Amino acid sequence: MWVVRRIGIAVAGLALCAASAAVKADVVVVVATSSPVKTLARNQVADIFLGKTSRFPGGGQATPIDQTEDSPTRDEFYTTFTGKSASQLKAHWSKIIFTGRGQPPQAVSSSAEVKKRVAENPDTIGYIDAREVDGSVRALPIEAQ
């Protein structure tokens, strides 16, 4: 009887692990199809979204489009590209705003809205789940640092 119980617990644990892995989004950085930007390094993406620069490496204006704080895609993006958790990100922007050095990126409510904004303006950059990339935006290859 105890063997059956242990096997049942092991199976339940594996199912939970598989479910949590399926929830994790494969986040990609996107630009307009007409954007001159062809690739960026991970730290360049982080600098744009953390307000450390407002320009792409070629000198063009870079306007980041963020997702709202309740978005799992947002959490995955900031963890992957900046190494910051949601609370660390909030502390970062509180400090920047308090010192008058900047404002966080404009946040929109969905990946569809990110795609719409990015597609309309070649100066914008955003992030979405890789499964949502279509002909309206281009996923940006990220260079190794």
Confidence of residue 143 (pLDDT cuts 50, 70, 90): confident
Domain 25-141 has CATH 3.40.190.10: yes
Domain boundary assignment for the chain? 25-141
Range with the lowest mean pLDDT among 6-15, 39-48, 76-85, 128-137? 6-15
What are the tens digits of pLDDT across the range 11-34?
Answer: 445 444 444 444 566 999 999 999
Nearest by Cα to 75 from 142, 13, 24 = 24
- Please list, residue by residue across 47-56, b when 16 or more beta carbons sit within 10 angstroms of its beta carbon and e when fewer do: bbbbbeeeeb
CA distance 42 to 47: 9
What are the tens digits of pLDDT across the range 68-116?
Answer: 999 999 999 999 999 999 999 999 999 999 999 999 999 999 999 999 9
CA distance 103 to 100: 8
CA distance 53 to 46: 9
Residue with tokens 């990220």: 142
CA distance 35 to 92: 29
